Structure 1
Amino acid sequence: MEARLNLFGNPVIGKALRHITAAGKVVADSTLPATTQELVKIRASQINGCGFCVDMHTKDAAHGGEDATRLHLVAVWREATVFTDAERAALELAEQGTRIADAAGGVTDEAWANAAKHYDEDQLAALVSVIALINTYNRVNVMVQQPAGDYTPGQFG
């Protein structure tokens, strides 16, 4: 399978993606745990059907030392016993923020309050940002049918 558009060679989308990547660097450098960031990216990507991002972020998480069992259970995190309460709150926020059109009002007050119990204001800002950014990447990759499976950790920097 070949992508409909060369994301890495087209100057217009390349420039736009560089800006999005720069925003992602701000989030990556925040105090929001890197593990939480990867779990959220994986869950949003699963919901959005973005194979490229699921491939990338599961491999990046594994490369960073994440446990394979946890990676296999992200899609069913509610039933899994391997996630902390803070991670569960982040995953719930990611799901609601990704499925924003499915519920009137978007993210519930309950989900927000639960996340706020576990994360300070800067971490919440990073969490909102990482959810927004991964959803952007998911939409780009799904629209252009970016193929999945060939990503190697460190491939993009």
Structure 2
Amino acid sequence: MEARLDLAGSPVAGKALKHFIAANTALAGSTLPRATRELVEIRASQINGCGFCVDMHTKDAAHAGESALRLNLVAAWREATVFTEAERAALELAEQGTRIADAGGGVTDEAWAKAAEHYDEDQLAALVSLIALINAFNRLNVIVRRPAGDYRPGQFD
């Protein structure tokens, strides 16, 4: 499969992507744990059907030391015993933030309160921003049908 459009090669889209990448770099500097960031990016990408981002974030997480067991269970995190309560709260927030139209009004107070039990304000801000950003990346990649499977960790460093 070949992408419908090379977004990075477009002068207009390329400028926008540079800002998205800068935002992602800023979030990487937050105190939100890297494992949480990767799990959230994987789960949102699974929901959105973004193969490129699932491939990328799964490989990046594995490269950073995440276990295959946990990566294999992200899609079934509710039934899995391998995630912390904090990670579970972040995954729930990510799911509700990704499925806004399905949630009947967005994120529930219960999901927000659970996340707030485990993350401080700066971490919550990073988490919310990350959820919005990965959803934007997912939509860009799905719309242009960016193929999955060839990503290598460090490819965009």
TM range (shorter): over 0.9
Aligned to 1:84: 84
1:31 aligns with 2:31: yes
Map Cα deviations across residues 99-140 of structure 1 (whole Å, 9 max, x no partner): 001122200000000000000000000000000000000000
Structure 2: gaps spanning 5 or more residues: none
1:64 aligns with 2:64: yes
Aligned to 1:16: 16
Distance 1:66 1:107 in 2: 28
Aligned to 1:107: 107
| Residue-pair matches, total | 157
Aligned to 1:119: 119
Cα distance, 1:8 vs structure 2: 2.3
* SS across alignment from 2:61: helix
Distance 2:82 2:7 in 1: 36
Distance 1:121 1:13 in 2: 32
Aligned to 2:2: 2
* SS across alignment from 1:13: helix
| Larger deviation, residues 8-17 vs 76-85 | 8-17
* SS across alignment from 2:130: helix
Distance 1:120 1:21 in 2: 24
State the AA in 1 paired with 2:23.
Answer: A
State the AA in 1 paired with 2:9.
Answer: G
* SS across alignment from 2:36: helix
* SS across alignment from 2:23: helix
CA RMSD after TM alignment: 0.5
Cα distance, 1:27 vs structure 2: 0.8
Cα distance, 1:25 vs structure 2: 1.1
Distance 2:150 2:10 in 1: 20
Cα distance, 1:154 vs structure 2: 0.3
State the AA in 2 paired with 1:67.
Answer: S
Cα distance, 1:149 vs structure 2: 0.1
Cα distance, 1:42 vs structure 2: 0.0
TM-score in terms of structure 2 length: 0.99
Identity of aligned residues (%): 78
TM-score in terms of structure 1 length: 0.99
Distance 2:93 2:66 in 1: 21
After TM superposition, where is structure 1 displaced by more than 4 Å over at least 4 residues in a row?
none
